[in-house]
Structure 1
Amino acid sequence: MKQPVFFLSHGGGPWPWLDGPFRENFAWLEASLKALLAQLPEPPRAVLAVSGHWEEPEFTVSSAAQPGMVYDYFGFPEHTYSIRYAAPGDPALAGRVRELAAAAGIAMGDDPARGFDHGTFSMMQPIRPEADLPVVSLSMKQGYDPAAHFALGQALAPLRDEGVVIMGSGLTYHNLRVFNARAAEPSRQFDAWLRHALLDLPPEDRAAQLMRWEAAPAARLVHPREDHLIPLMVALGAAGADPATCIYSQADLFGGITVSSWRFGEDVSATGFDRLAA
């Protein structure tokens, strides 16, 4: 059966390994991630994670059988620099990703040393704490061309029929210089624009709208650097004409920031983690 595609918020830093107020900001996100595998039509073979924390001169896929860790954050407690998400990789899946990309004329590099960055392990820890589901990482391409990432998603769509769940990992608001109540209105405006594009427009129009994301309200304040938005373009390409459902939203992250996560797939039902739904 065809697996759905996701664009997910991965939260902040190594939050699943923390306690206290910082962790509490992500309680609603955590609940939505814990519920994710139950939405699948059958148990997945593997996850292909497109992280907003990995970019290369060309698209690159991780091919390690046992990926290590990339501690790509700073200022967190000492113990978070020795945590481990011990999921296996899947070299065969990495080879299939390269094969599909090549068939579409898309250059794809291979990195046998790449480990899990926090865009992947902080997302996967609540989803599959047993860490027994193979995870392969896929980079963004420098320059962040939305159309190039959308085309890659289209090329990788056959994986959905092969038991692979494609997950774009980022954040619908990502401006670390304005990560407080001052972000309330711009994040709300951008999220409302995104919600309209994904829920109200036909597939061809929603894709065209997302290719022009810089025209959205407050776009460059919300995403001064679009690394956390571009994984959505891969997910959107892989989704084809499948409908979208908001599977997580909140308007009070860190004092008022609006963020959301999305699922693309047929026969989608509400999951109860969209606080903004009518």
Structure 2
Amino acid sequence: MSQLAFPTYFLSHGGGPWPFMKDQFGGRYDVLEASLQDIPRQLGARPKAVLVVTAHWEGPQFLVSASPNPGMIYDYSGFPAHTYQIQYPAPGAPALAAQVKTLLDAAGHPARLDHERGFDHGTFSALFPIYPEADMPLVQLSLKHGYDALTHIQVGRALASLRQQGVLILGSGLSYHNLRQFGQPGAVASQQFDAWLRQAMALPPAERLAHLLAWDQAPAARQAHPREDHLLPLMVALGAAENEPAQVVYHEDDFFGALAVSSFRFGQAAD
């Protein structure tokens, strides 16, 4: 990380409320958890707030959570009863939400403030290992219907100045997200797409951008992402640090026993 700006991240956030199910999952999430817990060290300083681009929220325009005290959204099913009582009482940041809206409006991507939106599991499951005290102000940003990759990269560009203001930008999704082919049925597709994605991240910025804009031409792209909702947070994180190098900060080849998944940082770590 430079002295002036935090890096940005694309996080493969895992499945459901996994940080609150260690008795059920055992060590299945140990590698992911360790990668998330290491983020404060990589930053080298405490952000003033976090902006989470969540794969679990979308609208006809970009939406920005603006509640000072967000509630909880248990946007999953079939999990143990206690996971529907989880609380992650991090504060909102209405002033940051208003600034995000202003930046997006000025960039030609009109946004709307949502004063009711709570934290979905793409936010609280990813943030709990990073800031377990739930004392970091959080704002969520939605995706936009249509799933246009360039639009989401442009939104990242519009938000890049927040990095110099102490705001950490996290894209929360999953580098493989085909729930009909999870586990062993998705092994080959996930390996092929993840290998392509990691290779694309290592390219110079202009080539990397070209590859991502044509992501659906990648090997097994539509098998890995029948709907690209869990990939688009990557586009925003990239756009906000477009000319900076990418680093793999989490990778497994046996997620749920068979899947290849990865997370990336754009920009340098503090050390």
Alignment correspondent of 2:222: 220
Measured at CA, do residues 90 and 267 of structure 1 come closer, stay the same or move farther in structure 2, by a change above 3 Å? Answer: closer
Structure 2 portions without partners, runs of 5+: none
Q: Residues of 1 paired with 2:43 and 2:16: CA distance?
A: 27
Tell me if 1:100 matches 2:103. yes
TM, length-normalised to structure 1: 0.94
Aligned amino acid, residue 150 of structure 1: I
Aligned amino acid, residue 253 of structure 1: F
Q: Percent identity?
A: 56
Q: Select 2:177's aligned residue among 157, 174, 187.
A: 174
Query: Aligned-pair distance for 1:268?
Result: 7.3
Q: Residues of 1 paired with 2:105 and 2:57: CA distance?
A: 21
Tell me if 1:256 matches 2:258. yes
Deviations 1:212-264 (CA, angstroms, capped at 9, x unpaired): 11000000111011110011010110012010000000001111100000001
Alignment correspondent of 1:112: 115
Alignment correspondent of 2:246: 244
Measured at CA, do residues 21 and 77 of structure 1 come closer, stay the same or move farther in structure 2, by a change above 3 Å? Answer: closer
Q: Residues of 1 paired with 2:65 and 2:192: CA distance?
A: 36
Q: Select 2:163's aligned residue among 160, 165, 187.
A: 160
Deviations 1:105-147 (CA, angstroms, capped at 9, x unpaired): 2111110000000000000010100000101000000111001
Deviations 1:50-99 (CA, angstroms, capped at 9, x unpaired): 01100111001000001000100000011111111110000000011011
Query: Aligned-pair distance for 1:182?
Result: 2.3
Measured at CA, do residues 80 and 267 of structure 1 come closer, stay the same or move farther in structure 2, by a change above 3 Å? Answer: closer
Aligned amino acid, residue 164 of structure 1: V
Aligned to 1:177, the other structure's residue is in SS state helix
Tell me if 1:141 matches 2:147. no
Contact 2:49–2:138 (CA under 8 A) maintained in structure 1:
yes
Tell me if 1:83 matches 2:86. yes
Query: Aligned-pair distance for 1:23?
Result: 4.8
Aligned amino acid, residue 256 of structure 1: A
Contact 1:243–1:268 (CA under 8 A) maintained in structure 2:
no
Tell me if 1:3 matches 2:6. yes
Contact 1:16–1:23 (CA under 8 A) maintained in structure 2:
no
TM, length-normalised to structure 2: 0.96
Q: Residues of 1 paired with 2:52 and 2:102: CA distance?
A: 17
Over the aligned positions, Cα root-mean-square deviation in angstroms equals 1.1
Tell me if 1:20 matches 2:23. yes
Deviations 1:134-180 (CA, angstroms, capped at 9, x unpaired): 01000000111001100000000000000000000000000111111
Aligned amino acid, residue 265 of structure 1: G
Query: Aligned-pair distance for 1:24?
Result: 2.6
Report the number of matched residues.
Answer: 268
Alignment correspondent of 1:196: 199
Q: Select 1:46's aligned residue among 38, 45, 49.
A: 49
Structure 1 window deviating more from structure 2 (101-110 vs 214-223): it is 101-110
Alignment of structure 1 residues 49-88 onto 2, 5 Å: 49-88=52-91
Contact 1:101–1:107 (CA under 8 A) maintained in structure 2:
yes
Aligned amino acid, residue 207 of structure 2: D
Q: Select 1:183's aligned residue among 179, 182, 186.
A: 186
Structure 1 portions without partners, runs of 5+: 270-278
Alignment correspondent of 1:151: 154
Contact 1:49–1:138 (CA under 8 A) maintained in structure 2:
yes
